């Protein structure tokens, strides 16, 4: 489906016009549209609405429409693919309605969990229950696909490629569990689902893959399967957190490398959204302050309730020394006096360092639900700007791996310097301390198990 078939609503258009001058007002307007109740079943396909369905009054005497052949139905959806290669295309994405819609969806989820705990009772609709069942099925596939014990590499276990293949094969069956999901949409949204678990070529994982999972949920919202008015708290506190738990199992089982050497710009080797939405949970807390992350007893007590503190506990469980050494950005953030300021900063950081950072944005997939903006009048489409290389990255023709200077002469800035998984480093340190010369076996330890923390040196 072309972008012209997904016209923005008046509120979206007004928000788009004022986004540069009043970014918060624009996001609030879009978030309000997201929370709008769905229209009656007789309304047009909810996928054609900007983000939330709106009531549409049909013409008094609609002209009879010819019966469309069955094969035209899937044509309304298109397989999602990468579109961003150059800074010019990134700029088009930055100023697009699709970018603002996705950020507004993230913001709406953020506001929905303010003051809520992971253990709070939240409404779980049939759609949410189906998504939780899907994540449980993924976990079962992980447990049924053990790591390859013959591999001695610290840079990812090849058995992950087997798991990734299984997930692709099971995608149709898993999506069939979602009530009222159009069969024709599975091919498009299935791309986001399959790309949510890591890259099979590089055996790594980062905030770009996490973004794919968020985009999968965003697409289900556009399709009307999820309703932010009803489901937003459960989407974050149940579905997304279950996803993080499954990802921790995958990361520890197959020793996934952090995607790039930046470590998600200092927050976590793998994730970002748990810190964003986790800081929202703590926004109005009467007693806990950002500096509490340095108090081990507080972190241990409240980690089951708050994503932010759960992530801090996870980091402390696999790394020695102080956060000041191995997580300096988290340490700096802890100096902020109020969680509200932390949350505002996290939202700005997510926009700048994930959605609008070329090394990550080049991996965003676009279809009919998250549509890439068309070129402006007189602007070339620039489809031939680059091609995907053996590492799964798309580069301009003049800047591929093995070219350029400095880091770009090796892996390039988009990939970063390949570094081993913290799980691999921790396991190797444990064996060294035990005086064992045996080869470390991936999957031998999982979070909360007997893995020895890796020293920071």
| pLDDT more than 70, % of the chain | 63
Q: Please say if the pLDDT value at position 315 is more than 50.
A: yes
Distance between CA atoms of residues 77 and 45, nearest Å: 12
Residue 39 lies inside a defined structural domain of this protein? no
The CATH number assigned to the domain holding 244 equals 1.20.120.1150
Per-residue confidence at 151, pLDDT binned at 50, 70, 90?
low
Tokens, residue 306 = 């708050």
Total number of residues shown for the chain:
457
| Mean of pLDDT values over 118-143 | 97
Specify whether the CB–CB gap between 170 and 141 falls below 8 A. Answer: yes
pTM of the model: 0.76
Say which residues have a Cβ less than 8 Å from residue 94's Cβ, sequence separation at least 6. Answer: 356
pLDDT of residue 396: 52
Cα torsion through 59, 63, 64, 66, rounded to 10: -110
Per-residue confidence at 258, pLDDT binned at 50, 70, 90?
confident
Say which residues have a Cβ less than 8 Å from residue 239's Cβ, sequence separation at least 6. Answer: 128, 131, 132, 135, 217
Residue 431 lies inside a defined structural domain of this protein? no
H or E stretch including 428? helix 422-434
Three-state SS for 295-307 is: CHHHHHHHCCCCH
438 or 269, which is more confident: 269
Distance between CA atoms of residues 270 and 206, nearest Å: 5
Per-residue confidence at 431, pLDDT binned at 50, 70, 90?
low
| Mean of pLDDT values over 428-454 | 48
First to last CA, the chain: 52
Host domain of residue 129? 84-366
Three-state SS for 175-189 is: HCCCCCCCHHHHHHH
Q: Please say if the pLDDT value at position 19 is more than 50.
A: no
DSSP 64-109: PPPPPPGGGSGGGS---EE---SHHHHHHHHTSHHHHHHHHHHHHH
Residue 334 lies inside a defined structural domain of this protein? yes
Q: Please say if the pLDDT value at position 145 is more than 90.
A: yes
Pairing relation of β-strands 386-388 and 365-366? unpaired
Specify whether the CB–CB gap between 322 and 175 falls below 8 A. Answer: no
Q: Please say if the pLDDT value at position 437 is more than 60.
A: no
Q: Is 269 helix (H, G, I), strand (E, B) or coil?
A: coil
What is the chain's mean pLDDT, rounded? 77
112 or 36, which is more confident: 112
Rg (alpha carbons) of the chain, rounded to whole number: 22
| Mean of pLDDT values over 158-163 | 96
Residue 288 lies inside a defined structural domain of this protein? yes
pLDDT of residue 74: 36
Give me the number of domains the chain comprises.
1
pLDDT of residue 3: 38
Distance between CA atoms of residues 156 and 419, nearest Å: 10
pLDDT of residue 27: 56
| Mean of pLDDT values over 189-206 | 94
89-117: pLDDT as tens digits? 999 999 999 999 999 999 999 999 999 99
Specify whether the CB–CB gap between 218 and 409 falls below 8 A. Answer: no
Q: What are φ and ψ of residue 199, in 5° steps?
A: -100, 125
Residue 134 lies inside a defined structural domain of this protein? yes
Residue 218 lies inside a defined structural domain of this protein? yes
Identify the residue whose tokens are 């899907």: 134
Q: Please say if the pLDDT value at position 61 is more than 50.
A: no
62-88: pLDDT as tens digits? 444 433 333 333 348 999 999 999 999
Per-residue confidence at 381, pLDDT binned at 50, 70, 90?
low
Residue 323 lies inside a defined structural domain of this protein? yes
Q: Please say if the pLDDT value at position 425 is more than 70.
A: no
Per-residue confidence at 154, pLDDT binned at 50, 70, 90?
low
Distance of CA 24 to the CA centre of its chain: 22
Distance between CA atoms of residues 297 and 48, nearest Å: 50
Residue 51 lies inside a defined structural domain of this protein? no
Distance of CA 301 to the CA centre of its chain: 27
Would you tell me the crossing angle of helices 126-143 and 241-254 to the nearest 10 degrees?
A: 10
């Amino acid at each position: 489906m072309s972008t012209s078939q997904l016209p923005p609503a008046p509120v979206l258009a007004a928000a788009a016009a004022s986004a540069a001058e009043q970014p918060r007002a624009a996001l609030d307007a879009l978030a309000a549209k997201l929370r709008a109740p769905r229209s009656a079943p007789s309304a047009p396909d909810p996928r054609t609405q900007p983000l939330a369905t709106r009531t549409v009054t049909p013409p008094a005497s609609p002209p009879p429409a010819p019966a469309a052949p069955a094969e035209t139905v899937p044509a309304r959806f298109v397989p999602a693919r990468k579109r961003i290669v150059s800074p010019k295309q990134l700029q088009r994405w930055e100023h697009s309605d699709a970018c603002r819609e996705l950020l507004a969806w993230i913001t709406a989820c953020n506001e929905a969990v303010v003051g809520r705990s992971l253990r709070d009772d939240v409404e779980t609709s049939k759609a949410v229950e189906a998504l939780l069942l899907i994540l449980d099925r993924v976990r079962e596939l992980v447990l049924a696909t053990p790591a390859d014990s013959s591999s001695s590499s610290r840079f990812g276990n090849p058995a992950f490629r087997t798991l990734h293949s299984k997930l692709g094969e099971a995608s149709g069956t898993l999506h069939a569990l979602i009530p009222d999901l159009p069969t024709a949409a599975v091919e498009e949204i299935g791309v986001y689902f399959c790309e949510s678990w890591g890259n099979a070529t590089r055996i790594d994982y980062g905030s770009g893959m996490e973004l794919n999972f968020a985009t999968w949920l965003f697409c289900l919202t556009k399709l009307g399967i999820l309703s932010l008015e009803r489901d937003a708290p459960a989407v974050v506190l149940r579905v997304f957190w279950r996803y993080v738990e499954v990802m921790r199992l995958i990361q520890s089982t197959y020793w996934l490398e952090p995607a790039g050497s930046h470590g998600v710009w200092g927050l976590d080797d793998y994730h970002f959204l748990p810190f964003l939405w986790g800081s929202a949970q703590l926004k109005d807390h009467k007693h806990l302050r950002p500096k509490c992350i340095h108090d081990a007893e507080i972190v241990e007590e409240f980690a089951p309730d708050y994503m932010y503190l759960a992530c801090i506990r996870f980091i402390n469980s696999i790394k020695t020394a102080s956060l000041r050494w191995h997580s300096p950005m988290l340490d700096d953030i802890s100096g902020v006096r109020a969680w509200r300021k932390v949350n505002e900063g996290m939202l700005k950081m997510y926009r700048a360092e994930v959605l609008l950072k070329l090394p990550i944005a080049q991996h965003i997939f676009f279809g009919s639900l998250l549509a890439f903006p068309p070129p402006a009048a007189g602007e070339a489409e620039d489809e031939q700007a680059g091609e995907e290389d053996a590492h799964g990255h798309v580069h301009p023709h003049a800047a591929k791996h093995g070219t350029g200077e400095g880091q770009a002469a090796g892996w390039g800035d988009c990939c970063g310097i390949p570094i081993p998984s913290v799980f691999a480093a921790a396991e190797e340190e444990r064996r060294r301390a035990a005086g064992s010369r045996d080869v470390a076996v991936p999957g031998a330890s999982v979070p909360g198990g007997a893995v020895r923390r890796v020293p920071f040196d």
